[in-house]
Structure 1
Amino acid sequence: MKRYQVRMVSDAERDIFEICQYLMNAVSRAKAEQVFTQLEEASKRLANMPERGHFPPELERLGIHEYREIHSGIYRMIYEIAGDGVLIHAVLDSRRDLHDLLFHRLLRDEVA
């Protein structure tokens, strides 16, 4: 079985940091650690079968098929398969609007 190298771009790392920071402040340290572990395990599983993810419907409607997503609890992990690697681009709360989140991310990148 082919094994892929899974990497996270800095935006995805920042997403996880912000999720865990929010959970630590709003819920508990234990919950933040639990979610971190679940996200870490989900990302590791992509090394074996990255094709198992589906195309995010919001992007598929726009004809964008290079990104896939998997879910871990209420979180969406948006990634692409690139050669022998998997690049995780975003980790987002699935209850939030993907278009809005990506728009704000683009604005943030423009300002930075």
Structure 2
Amino acid sequence: MAISDLDDIVSYIAAQGGPEAAERIYTRIMERIGTLSVHPARCRLVPELKDIGVDAYRELIVAPHRVFFRISGNVVGIVGVLDGRRDLAELLIRRTLFP
């Protein structure tokens, strides 16, 4: 799902701002995701999920996008990359409770 999310973001930005803009945001998001290999727990719990008692998911902000992930032992699993300007509460609940 996260790969599809990122593809959608890059395609949208390419259509609106051109391929160079799309490449810049793709690179920025991927570089920030790469930082999760060190101390991923530094990122906050996803507030929309924490409010309903789900504390297994964290987020990395790459403004205006939000990268959602889970930590399982030494593995960080990216579960979504979404535009943070959207109302994400319902979508996040559906994705996490009914994957």
Deviation track 1:19-66 (CA, whole Å, cap 9, x = no partner) reads 000000011111100000011001100001101110111101001101
**For residues 46 and 57 of structure 1, do their structure 2 counterparts lie closer, same or farther at Cα, with a shift above 3 Å needed?**
same
Q: State the TM-score, normalizing by the size of structure 1.
A: 0.80
Q: Does residue 46 of the first structure (1) align with residue 46 of the second (2)?
A: no
C-alpha distance in 2 between matches for 1:100 and 1:91:
15
The higher-RCO structure (CA 8 Å, 6+ apart) is 1
Which of residues 63, 85, 90 in structure 2 aligns to 1:95?
A: 85
Q: Distance in 2 between matches of 1:86 and 1:25?
A: 31
**Cα distance in 1 for residues equivalent to 2:94 and 2:4:** 14
Superposed displacement of residue 101, structure 1 = 2.9
Larger Rg computed on CA atoms:
1
Partner residue in 2 for 1:70: 60
Q: What's the offset of the Cα at 1:105?
A: 5.6
Number of matched pairs: 97
Percent identity over the alignment? 34
> TM-score with structure 2 length normalisation?
0.90
AA at the equivalent of 1:90: G
Q: Aligned residue for 2:4?
A: 14
Q: 1:104 deviation in Å?
A: 7.0
For structure 1, the residue ranges without an aligned partner over 5 or more in a row are: 1-10
In structure 1, what is the Cα distance between the partners aligned to 2:93 and 2:20?
32
